[in-house]
Amino acid sequence: MAFARRLAQLSPRTKVCVMIGGDAVFLPLCMFAAMAFRTGSFTEAFDTALTLQVLLAWLALPVLGAAGLYRTVVRYIDLRVLAAASGALAVVVLMVFALAMVFQVRTLPRSALLIFWFVAFAYVVTSRFVARALLRRGLKHGGRPRLRTAIYGAGNAGVQLAQAMEFSPEYKATCFLDDREDLHNKTVAGLKVYPSSALSEAVFRHDLGQIVLAIPSATTAEKRRLIHRVESAGLPVRILPGLGDLVEGRAGVSDIREVDVADLLGRDAVPPDPALFARNIAGKVVLVTGAGGSIGSELCRQILSQRPRRLVLLDHSEFALYTIDHELQQASIGIDVLACVGSVLDEGLVRALLKQHQVQTIYHAAAYKHVPIVEANMQQGLRNNVFGTLNVARAALEAEVETCILVSTDKAVRPTNVMGTSKRIAELVFQASAIRGAARTTFSMVRFGNVLGSSGSVVPLFRRQIQAGGPITITHPDIIRYFMLIPEAAQLVIQAGAMSKGGEVFVLDMGEPVRIADLARSMVRLSGLTEKTEAVPEGDIEIKAVGLRPGEKLFEELLIGDDVVASSHPRIMCARERHIDPALLDKMLQSLAAACAANDEVSMLRQIRNLVPEYRPADEVNAEVSASLANR
């Protein structure tokens, strides 16, 4: 081991010198062995033109060098290099044979040259593979055990990963798991292949420390099935980067990542309809409010891909605006990107932006969205979410903007909190604006649930709590939520806005709702840990219910009524819901504005109840839901 480590630490130039020196010694010995085989006597071989034997053997050195043998990194040597060496030795034999024929040299038997090719090739193959084994052994970190790993997927990606792990100081591939019956109990890349049904046996036999999924071509649904299949082993589960990244050097073994919740909850993306995706963006001036937020920033990225004439960013957070502006400037490729610090509450600023830049499309994503914070800061939540939206709508009508899209939320449906109620009022504002500006501006709303990775998502919170050793805190054991990936949500928002005729509420297909407690348990298992319960007191991580937050309800809905129709997109539905006459809405908003100006919470609550009669306190709704669940 010490010799192997010293060998591995040699400089590349020194290693080449060692290879050439070794060949300079052993190739003549190969020629001598060939003569001995031919003559049947070491003595006769020694007496037969020994100097000529050495010179002819040394002739192979420059030919092997020309074939690239001395430019190859030995620990990565493969059969292609050895094939080149075989060809080079054949060239040497043919050259010597031709020279012997031309110069009538009969000192050496011709058949000895053919024997030399076999002996020399055996030496080259053996010496290189021995050197490769020594170098790989020397590069391993002594004294630090590598994590014993099962690779799920014995295809090209899995084999490539197993080979890469031979050089890894962190991981040691010990076996494969695969569902293909023709591979079961076979050996691939030197490792045994187990069926997934024999996972427990593989864990026991190989003392596994983790499982890596190496099927980069699998769809999201297939990955989800694979993850659920192996998480019962109680081992950390990780995923291999895309095979293209691995092969092209953009990712390596060190980039094996943990299973993300997106792998559990995400869906196979439906490619955007190019015509819809570009309709309101390509060649146009686009404004995104709340551009630094989770949804706003992803909207900006997607919009930039459709090459608008200009992209205007508006956000009241300087840091958030700087972050997305810096990212977009790096990727803009000649597209004009303008960052503006300011709030949608500044109606003069919004009007000036629309007029100065002749904005044609607006995506209004600016909003306060954290339920407990808005619940505790009712005045500011209503001002920003309601009257900020009103400012945008009025300015859009005045500037005759072509399209204006409101990013809404499922919490606006039968709301139980001020945040959801404020977003429903924002929808009413856009519905009234659609009636007022039917001939000038197309207003629409897009409603969806939680997005994975947003600033308010439970996922990063759960991950931090697991790293800290727990407990994981959930608000209620029965709470469920809809989830969607941010890129998918942004793409669907853009396409829904492009389908609008005016006044529609578009509802995104969020898939199946997820029980938050089950999500937490999956994250614990995928981290290789166990849940700590009364039945399993020695578990690693406790999942603790801490009670619903102010204004939070157990479940979310996406539709207020049943008047919903399919759209031309499989994941976008269209609903026409209750609206308020624009003149009446103006009077009601004036009363709400007066209540906000006085910071009178009782009056503010009374006014939002008038605007959104379906609003009910969360405690009342949750009590009904809990009673219903108890009776099942």
Provide φ and ψ at 398, rounded to 5°.
-65, -40
Whether residue 290 contacts residue 367, with contact meaning beta carbons closer than 8 Å, is answered with: yes
What SS3 state is found at 146? Answer: coil
Mean pLDDT of 209-222: 79
User: What was the pLDDT predicted at 40?
Assistant: 74
In whole angstroms, give the CA distance from residue 583 to residue 563: 25
Question: pLDDT tens across 171-185, in order?
Answer: 888 899 888 888 888
Evaluate whether 426 touches 408 at the Cβ level (below 8 Å): yes
Mean pLDDT of all residues belonging to the chain:
80
Domain boundaries, the chain: 2-139, 147-259, 274-450+483-510+557-619
Round to whole Å and give the CA distance between 488 and 485: 5
Q: Distance from first CA to last CA of the chain, Å, rounded? A: 66
Confidence category of residue 80, pLDDT binned at 50, 70, 90: low
Cα 332 to its chain centre, rounded Å, is 22
Rounded CA separation 372/416 (Å): 11
Distance of CA 586 to the CA centre of its chain: 46
DSSP per-residue codes, 338-401: EEEE--TT-HHHHHHHHHHHT--EEEE------HHHHHH-HHHHHIIIIIHHHHHHHHHHHHT-
CATH of 147-259 given 3.30.1490.190, 3.30.930.10, 3.40.50.720, 3.10.105.10: 3.40.50.720
Q: Are 36 and 125 in contact (CB under 8 A)?
A: no
Least confident of 59-63, 107-111, 192-196: 107-111
Q: Which of 288-292, 348-352, 449-453 has the least mean pLDDT? A: 449-453
- CB-based burial label for 399 (10 Å; 0-12, 13-18, 19+): buried
Nearest alpha-carbon partner for 308 in 362, 231, 270, 353: 362
pLDDT digits (tens, 9 = 90+) for 239-287: 876 545 444 444 455 556 767 666 666 566 677 788 888 899 999 999 9
Query: Which range is least confidently modeled, 38-42, 101-105, 289-293?
Result: 101-105
pLDDT at 113 over 80: no
Show Cβ contacts of residue 26 under 8 Å, excluding neighbours closer than 6 positions: 123, 127
Query: Of 476, 520, 406, 495, which Cα lies nearest the Cα of 629?
Result: 476
Query: Distance between CA atoms of 630 and 623, rounded to whole angstroms?
Result: 11
- Quick one: what percent of the chain has pLDDT higher than 70? 81
Q: What pLDDT digit, counting tens, does each position of 541-599 carry? A: 889 888 877 777 676 665 544 566 777 777 888 877 788 999 999 999 999 999 999 99
Percentage of the chain exceeding pLDDT 90: 27
Which structure tokens are listed for 342?
A: 């300011």
Q: Return the pLDDT at 381.
A: 95
Can you count the helices (H) and strands (E) in the chain? 26, 23
> What H or E segment, with its residue span, contains residue 432?
helix 418-436
Four-CA torsion 46, 47, 50, 56, nearest 10 degrees:
-90
pTM attached to this predicted model: 0.68
pLDDT for the residue 91: 79
Contact between residue 210 and residue 528 where contact means Cβ atoms under 8 Å apart = yes
Most confident of 195-204, 301-310, 326-335: 301-310
**Residue at 158: amino acid letter:** G
Chain centroid to Cα 151, Å, comes to 19
pLDDT at residue 433, rounded to an integer: 93
Note whether 364 and 401 are within 8 A (CB): no
> Residue range 12-23: average pLDDT?
72
pLDDT recorded at residue 394: 95
| 3-7, 151-155, 170-174, range with the lowest pLDDT | 3-7
**Domains 147-259 and 274-450+483-510+557-619 fall in the same CATH topology:** yes
**Domain range 274-450+483-510+557-619, its CATH number among 3.40.50.10490, 3.20.20.100, 3.30.450.20, 3.40.50.720:** 3.40.50.720
User: Average pLDDT in the 446-463 region?
Assistant: 72
Q: What is the pLDDT of residue 607?
A: 94
List Cβ neighbours of 459 (8 Å cut-off, separation of 6 or more): 261, 452, 453, 519, 523
Q: Are 31 and 57 in contact (CB under 8 A)?
A: yes
- 610 compared with 246, residue with greater pLDDT: 610
Distance of alpha carbon 331 from alpha carbon 319, whole angstroms: 19
Report the distance separating Cα 200 and Cα 73, nearest Å: 39
Burial class (CB in 10 A: 0-12, 13-18, 19+), 298: buried
